[in-house]
Chain A
Amino acid sequence: DTGVSQDPRHKITKRGQNVTFRCDPISEHNRLYWYRQTLGQGPEFLTYFQNEAQLEKSRLLSDRFSAERPKGSFSTLEIQRTEQGDSAMYLCASSFIVGTQYFGPGTRLLVL
């Protein structure tokens, strides 16, 4: 399977803990995007990379969130000091520099 993969698929954590999610894009896709989806809403953009460069961050991305794509392949999204409002589905997508975004299965986060 050469689609976008995300790990873990589910994460339950206690408020105040740190969590890290991983995304492996489709091979050779230059761009990698992170979105967040809460119940009843469409996905909302968080940040995206072209190769290892972070091109844009949304205002939604507070200081507690950080994303990296160190070698231009996989990416990690870390949330520090989680809050209950961080509970959501975190989606990763990838694309070529020109082309459609294809999404992974998502990581569902529940903060207790």
Chain B
Amino acid sequence: DQQVKQNSPSLSVQEGRISILNCDYTNSMFDYFLWYKKYPAEGPTFLISISSIKDKNEDGRFTVFLNKSAKHLSLHIVPSQPGDSAVYFCAASTGNSGNTPLVFGKGTRLSVIA
């Protein structure tokens, strides 16, 4: 039973355009959500997070939106750059700061084409 789902295994976007990565979850106890970026043969790198009490969090080119009623979150990258090409993981935590065991989706591979 997958509690965190990323239904798009891959996404291809032109440089300069917006990338939108989606994530759905099923567990109502999740209180904190995170996005990590992963390059091959490296560990995940933290990108941005959002608490369930917010519906939006922004950090530079990255914005995360949370729709609690739909149990859906999305990561927007604007503008997309070739260096953004990586696998992006959505993760959820029952803790209020992401400090409890994370439940990850399967990831979405983003390719930004120059």
Least Cβ–Cβ distance between A2 and chain B, in angstroms: 15
Report the interface size class on chain B.
20 to 34
CA distance A35 to B102 in the complex (A): 9
Quick check: is A101 within 8 A (CB to CB) of the other chain?
A: yes
CA distance A43 to B107 in the complex (A): 10
Does A103 contact B97, Cβ atoms closer than 8 Å? no
Does A103 contact B43, Cβ atoms closer than 8 Å? yes
CA distance A106 to B41 in the complex (A): 8
Cβ-Cβ contact count across A and B, 8 Å cutoff: 64
Contact of B41 among A6, A42, A58, A108 (CB under 8 A): A108
| Residue interface mask A90-104, B partner, CB < 8 A = 1 | 010101111111111
B102 CB contacts on chain A under 8 angstroms: 33, 35, 43, 45, 101
Quick check: is B59 within 8 A (CB to CB) of the other chain?
A: no
| Residue interface mask A6-46, B partner, CB < 8 A = 1 | 10000000000000000000000001010100001111110
A97 CB contacts on chain B under 8 angstroms: 99
Does B98 contact A95, Cβ atoms closer than 8 Å? yes
Quick check: is A72 within 8 A (CB to CB) of the other chain?
A: no
| Residue interface mask B29-44, A partner, CB < 8 A = 1 | 0000010100001111
- Give the B-binding residues of A (Cβ under 8 A): 4, 6, 31, 33, 35, 40-45, 48, 56, 58, 91, 93, 95-106, 108
